[in-house]
Structure 1
Amino acid sequence: MLVASSMVFYSNEWLFHLFDVCDFWYGALFHEWDFVFNITASFLGKTVEIGKCTRDLICLKDIWDSVMMETLGFPTVIGEKCHQEVQIPWSDEVREIDSDNQLMDVMNEFELKNVNKIHLIINFIPLKTIFPEQPELHPNSNKNSNTQPNLHPTQDQSPMPTQQPNLQPSDIVCVESSPVPSYCNTDEEAHTETDWAPSDIDGAYSDCSNGDQSDDSDGVHSDGSDGLSDINGSGVNEEKVVQINSDNECEGYRPSGGHAFVLGDDGRIKLEVGQLFRNFSHFRDVILDYSIQEGFRLKRIKNERRRITSRCLVKGCTWRVHGSPTYDRKTYMLKTLRDEHNCLSVTSNKDVTSNWLGKKFESLIKQNPDMNIRVFGAIVLRTCGVSVLDHTLYRAKKYALNIGNEDHKKSYNKLYKYGHIIIERNPGSYVKLDTISYNPDDNVPAHFNRFFLSFHGQKMGYLEGCRPFIGLDGCHLKGPYEGILLCAIAIDANCGVYPIALGVCELECRETWTWFLQLLYEHVGQHDNMTVCFMTDRQKGLVAALHDCWPNHINRFCGRHILQNLLSTFKIDYLKDLFWPAAVSTNVAEFVKKMGDIKNASERAHQYLIDIPLELWSVHAFDTLTKTDHNTNNIVEAFNGWLNKYRKLPMLTMLETVRRKLMKRIHERFEAAMCWESNIPPAVNKKLQEAQKKGRYLDPLRCGEWEFEVVDENRQFVVKLNERTCDCGIWAVNGLPCKHAMACITKKRDDVEEYVHHYLKKPAYLRTYANVIHALPDENSWPNVQYKTVLPPIIKRKAGRPRLSRRRGATEPARVQRSVGSRCSKCQQTGHNSRTCKENEPVAGQRKRYKVGSTSNAHSTNSIAKKTKTCQQLKLFSYRENTNNWTYDYWCFKFFNCCNENYNCWSYPTYKSTQLCTTREDHKSNS
């Protein structure tokens, strides 16, 4: 003590030296004054910590097993060798070690130099032929019993990790870093994640001698005579208990063999003594999976890092398993197994949690995110033999679909690799990731800003088979991070929705729409300088962005948005019935007539519509190039509804789900189109049949080979078949013969197919869906590219709970409508409820009756009524009496039985039951 205190006054360095000396001598005392070495080894480019040991507790075989288990997952087998070298730190000499004696000599030399750190360089020498190793049996087991050998994997059989080429970002995917926008908060506090790992337990792994007998901590004795005793005290058959004869279920066991645990060919678990597991968690998870597989529940006797002992939960069942770490303090070995049950299997297991189900069926749920809960439960019952509650299945789906915030954060950092693998497997695709960097240093993480994605198959399908018509719109993401999903949708030959591109940005404004449309134009708009018609809403930023980015374009406004603005401005409900006839008018005469009706209703509303250019919202003024009469943006709204349930998923999961659905949909539509007998798609053919039915009642007058005059509802229409026109205007807009043209074609006996535009035929449909989206490999096989760490976007939290559904418009009906009126639970009549039922009205001269369970008497009546109620109807009467400055409330319940009427009374505040009353007068007298 005097020496220590005096050394403090000189320097702190002496104090630290003193602590090192004390620590060293403490370790020496713990190992009976032996010198303690700290051994490390290098193997396959990895450094393995062997740990602290003395000369008597280490050998080359132990070092080989520790290194092989840490790097390859299995130890060495009989006959395998390793070549090791040691670097002498006080010289440049590299000495070879071929035997345990040479290892002891090196340790003696290190001890003389007072150096306890030894670093070995190991090279593995595999065998060409490996013979099966005979497993060790219990000492009392029959030596002539049939045993199956344990085959160990060899070095040649283990797959070596392949190094993937480092791809530069500029070679594959376009990545940009933008300056911080003005609306972003630069004062956000950076959050870092810290992984916590429990430290080793001091003294947990002590050496165990191979004595005749030793005691386990849980009271189970193992020796060379009677094997394992039953926990309940009853004797068990020794031949059924399998142990390693050199282990007494104690810590610090040094394995002389063993084999790595692997699943069977059928995916089932088979436990054997000597199996090696990666760590404590791996062993515990396998035991749990095995219990669920075999249909029993576990009782964990010891569940520590230094030992795991479990048995069957049923009292009296003899099944038991024990495992503990090997000498490397990390690898776990199954050392005792009593694999026999004398109980019945269970059909429900509390160990089957939502997290366990989510991990077990992760691939199934991700491939089928729309899977019904009942179907999922049937699959779990068929696979695992247990029945699970619905709410557990819901949570399992949520876990498997990565709903957690941590999964959302990690998904943004995977977008670099995702873009590279898309370009690699789908050449010609366009992927762009835009990030915000607050520091030009490449080592500083960047924040996600925008992402654009369009596959080459989508581009070629649009250019080769779709009409030059694109719908644009955005929808909100429902995850923990704010964002807008922008989409561009086209129409195929069968009037179906065909997505072209997706984009994710921070918000919907002119800047983001300019960014999206510029990339879309670079990808699909520069082909033949084609004029494209866009269907949009009346957002000023989107209209301005179209003029900035797309030189040759035609614009249309969604009629539903125009009507919504009209109703919100003028507050006239019946304008809805007058607007749509004017919007769908296909000729000028009809349009003027319908607009006159609107003018009679409201001149201001009429002027509001006239101020909007007619070619933006009325069908009669639409262009004739696109061959479509769409005056709403329903194609985009349908696509947004199709993605509604996926917008809450993490970014990468959402994009992958959309890709899989599109990939599957493109192939299915192509296969279905190959079976069409007609050259006209089904949806187009249905419109032609409707027009033909209406044309049956018309009598066209032929005035030439191609010209006809048709009278319909006191109006005359001129039809010119060679020019594909009719005065009604429908044929020129949508490319399909109208009812007047169908009457002329039928009278001329021509083929209707010749008069249908080529945009609406089977060849165009096949050209659209012949361009596929190629499949992508697993995430573990994606290229290893160098990139900045991408963090989630910076958001500003708003007050209150975030909305998951948008506000309903003025023209939209309520999402939930009551199918029937309210029904009274008292009289079973509709039109009112039990509170407003007339039976509750008090009779003249009688006090008001209260309903049981109301606020005024909830405490006094609810608990009592539950105990004494014997029929369906119950009535309550109240009496009050003042006695000796105390107020007592007497509550009388009248039960309407089929035989008699009884009154049961209680007094407040004691609530104690008194005698039964037959009448109301007896109630007062008895009280």
Structure 2
Amino acid sequence: MSTIAKEIEVELQTTPNLSAKELKAKFHQMHQVQLSESKMRREKTIALQRKDGDYTKQYTHLRCYIDELLKANPGSTIKLDVEPCANHNLKTRQFRRIYVCYAALVKGFKLLGRELLGLDGCFMKGKYPGQILTAVGTDGNNCLYPVAFAIVEAECTDSWKWFLDLLGDDLDLPHDGLIQAVESVFPRAEHRFCCRHIHENLRQTWRGDLYKGLFYRAASATSVPYFNMAMEEIKKTNLDMFLWLSEIPAARWSRSHFSGRVLSDMLLNNLCESFNKQLVGARDKPIITCLEYIREYMTMRIVTVKKMQATAMGPLTLQATKAWDEIQTKASKLTVMMVDDVTYQVKSLRSQCVVNVGDRTCTCRRWDLTGMPCKHAVAALYNMIENNMYVGPLEKWVDEAYWLDTWKKVYNHQIRPIPGPDMWTPSNCPTIITPLKHHTQIGRPKKNRKKALGEKKKVAASKKRKRKIEEVRELFSAGGRLTRLGHEKSCGRCGGYRHNIRTCRAPIQQ
């Protein structure tokens, strides 16, 4: 290994995202030696190979790594799958898939009290192709809770079914492309779609804030009558869009048809997207380095959550406390009429709901969906207190999934570390794992996520505006005249933007 590569390795330990151009400038500053960018790129490749490991050799040590993980984390499930081979006398087996589910995360998920799993996949960006499949839950603080992940050859029905079969066994779930896999493995599961992805497909034909607002109004409706009203409005606006949405079962995308079994009314799969974002640093690494990166992230996340728990003071989690305070504020403005000991009629300015505290239900269905009493239910509880009826602490009416004690129990289990490769015990298996078939793609490897059409326009406009603001600041710092660029001014007549009172087309009020 050359002296240049050794120095680059030291730099990459502290700042791993340095480009070859930046490393070239640093090297010139330190040693006053001018190197070409291509030379620096080659030296960086050598340094990264030493730092992260060799892509091909790590597959041969994969069995030893799995044995060490299982030794440190008993009860965990790690499954290694290889390509089928007709000749059983061969001493090599080609890698196909690996599934990892730590016992600590399984124990925590069973204590969550929220049977919700978000499923997603992201591409591997390294030398060998593949996909990372993830299963993510949500804890009582409405934050992501990683459960299991797998590295597979491709995102297809066969790989998803293999992943979900193993996941169902680990979580003791009753079970006899993704949709087919879920329906075949978990036929009794409630399968929800991410509304953002539905809207991305919808906006290819019907663009604009009008159609977006109509769609999300129907998706966020919590009761069937309000959902029907929203769909009727869509029908009047655009019949084709109404027919397109009608082909998707409402139980897959609208809160009005969700059941309350999972205590969540989420419409987006942001939990998985957030988890995938944390894996960006692992996706271009060799197989063992990638698995270690994910394990270290999960370990550090448990520690981070425990620090957050130490700051919580009330009986509920931090996010649940904020939501609960907001609900109580809204409940104080409602009018309540008692019907009997358990039934109450609750009125607001525009709606009227019926609350049954015995069954813990409300006709708005928010209590049913989330497990947290809605503003109508809290108003009914206030009325019970005024009538000298025993209610107890109001927080006890919130489902146990949001209690601080439950949250602490979930994160009471740790993922144990393992020693370095020099201390691993050699595997007793006679076969050696070889990597996947590799085919070098044409052009420079892409690392950034492919953005949708709307995202591209927003990003381009934002970059253009920032560039103009920076130019103005440079001009002003050099003694130029300060302009209004970067500061939105509203019209003095209508309050709108991007025009003034002279060009305003709003009617003049007499």
**TM-score under structure 2 length normalisation:** 0.80
DSSP-derived class of the 1:557 partner: coil
Give the 5 Å matches for 1:782-861: 782-787=424-429, 788-812=431-455, 814-816=458-460, 817=462, 818-820=464-466, 822=468
C-alpha distance after superposition, 1:780-804 (max 9, x if no partner): 1111113422222113344433332
C-alpha distance after superposition, 1:292-337 (max 9, x if no partner): xxxxxxxxxxxxxxxxxxxxxxxxxxxxxxxxxxxxxxxxxxxxxx
The structural deviation recorded for 1:691 is: 1.4
Q: State the partner residue of 1:905.
A: none
CA distance in 1: counterparts of 2:265 and 2:40, whole angstroms: 46
DSSP-derived class of the 2:190 partner: strand
**Contact 1:403 1:648 survives alignment (8 Å):** no
Tell me: CA distance 1:429–1:552, structure 2 relative to 1, closer, same or farther (3 Å).
same
CA distance in 2: counterparts of 1:552 and 1:403, whole angstroms: 49
Q: State the partner residue of 1:549.
A: 185
Q: State the partner residue of 1:430.
A: 77
CA distance in 1: counterparts of 2:348 and 2:99, whole angstroms: 51
Given candidates 766, 771, 782, the residue that maps to 2:413 is 771
CA distance in 2: counterparts of 1:393 and 1:668, whole angstroms: 37
CA distance in 1: counterparts of 2:101 and 2:114, whole angstroms: 18
Q: State the partner residue of 1:468.
A: 115
Tell me: CA distance 1:525–1:819, structure 2 relative to 1, closer, same or farther (3 Å).
farther
**Contact 1:567 1:573 survives alignment (8 Å):** no
Q: State the partner residue of 2:278.
A: 642
The structural deviation recorded for 1:642 is: 1.5
CA distance in 2: counterparts of 1:658 and 1:397, whole angstroms: 23
CA distance in 2: counterparts of 1:748 and 1:395, whole angstroms: 74
DSSP-derived class of the 1:694 partner: helix
CA distance in 1: counterparts of 2:416 and 2:368, whole angstroms: 38
**Contact 1:559 1:632 survives alignment (8 Å):** yes
- Greater strand fraction, Structure 1 or Structure 2: 1
CA distance in 2: counterparts of 1:472 and 1:388, whole angstroms: 51
CA distance in 2: counterparts of 1:522 and 1:400, whole angstroms: 41
Q: State the partner residue of 1:761.
A: 403
Q: State the partner residue of 1:629.
A: 265
C-alpha distance after superposition, 1:805-860 (max 9, x if no partner): 2322245454452335746999989999xxxxxxxxxxxxxxxxxxxxxxxxxxxx
**Contact 1:465 1:766 survives alignment (8 Å):** no
**Contact 1:483 1:504 survives alignment (8 Å):** yes
Q: Are 1:710 and 2:346 an aligned pair?
A: yes
DSSP-derived class of the 1:645 partner: coil
Tell me: CA distance 1:831–1:693, structure 2 relative to 1, closer, same or farther (3 Å).
closer
Give the 5 Å matches for 1:398-797: 402=49, 407-436=54-83, 440-526=87-173, 529=174, 541-571=177-207, 574-674=210-310, 676-749=312-385, 750=391, 751-787=393-429, 788-797=431-440
Tell me: CA distance 1:572–1:815, structure 2 relative to 1, closer, same or farther (3 Å).
closer
CA distance in 1: counterparts of 2:304 and 2:446, whole angstroms: 36
Structure 2 runs not aligned, ≥5 long: 386-390, 486-510
DSSP-derived class of the 1:464 partner: helix
**Contact 1:489 1:498 survives alignment (8 Å):** yes
CA distance in 2: counterparts of 1:369 and 1:707, whole angstroms: 62
The structural deviation recorded for 1:589 is: 2.4
DSSP-derived class of the 1:453 partner: strand
**Contact 2:371 2:399 survives alignment (8 Å):** yes
Tell me: CA distance 1:725–1:372, structure 2 relative to 1, closer, same or farther (3 Å).
farther
Whichever residue aligns with residue 806 of structure 1, its letter is: R
Tell me: CA distance 1:649–1:821, structure 2 relative to 1, closer, same or farther (3 Å).
closer
CA distance in 2: counterparts of 1:702 and 1:559, whole angstroms: 38
Q: State the partner residue of 1:356.
A: 7
**Equivalent pairs, count:** 458
The structural deviation recorded for 1:763 is: 2.5
CA distance in 2: counterparts of 1:430 and 1:794, whole angstroms: 26
- Greater helix fraction, Structure 1 or Structure 2: 2
CA distance in 2: counterparts of 1:400 and 1:773, whole angstroms: 30
CA distance in 1: counterparts of 2:45 and 2:349, whole angstroms: 59
The structural deviation recorded for 1:452 is: 0.7
Whichever residue aligns with residue 71 of structure 2, its letter is: E
**Contact 1:481 1:793 survives alignment (8 Å):** yes
The structural deviation recorded for 1:486 is: 0.3
The structural deviation recorded for 1:761 is: 1.3
C-alpha distance after superposition, 1:652-683 (max 9, x if no partner): 11110111121122133235425532220001
Q: CA RMSD in A?
A: 3.6
Tell me: CA distance 1:442–1:425, structure 2 relative to 1, closer, same or farther (3 Å).
farther
Tell me: CA distance 1:591–1:624, structure 2 relative to 1, closer, same or farther (3 Å).
same
Structure 1 runs not aligned, ≥5 long: 1-280, 286-350, 381-385, 532-540, 833-927
Whichever residue aligns with residue 432 of structure 1, its letter is: K
Tell me: CA distance 1:370–1:674, structure 2 relative to 1, closer, same or farther (3 Å).
farther
**TM-score under structure 1 length normalisation:** 0.46
Tell me: CA distance 1:502–1:694, structure 2 relative to 1, closer, same or farther (3 Å).
same
DSSP-derived class of the 1:508 partner: coil
CA distance in 2: counterparts of 1:584 and 1:775, whole angstroms: 43
CA distance in 1: counterparts of 2:175 and 2:11, whole angstroms: 48
DSSP-derived class of the 1:667 partner: helix
Give the 5 Å matches for 1:32-43: none
**Contact 1:437 1:445 survives alignment (8 Å):** no
CA distance in 2: counterparts of 1:753 and 1:398, whole angstroms: 57
**Contact 1:447 1:790 survives alignment (8 Å):** yes
CA distance in 2: counterparts of 1:724 and 1:403, whole angstroms: 60
C-alpha distance after superposition, 1:1-57 (max 9, x if no partner): xxxxxxxxxxxxxxxxxxxxxxxxxxxxxxxxxxxxxxxxxxxxxxxxxxxxxxxxx
Q: State the partner residue of 1:882.
A: none
CA distance in 1: counterparts of 2:31 and 2:266, whole angstroms: 50
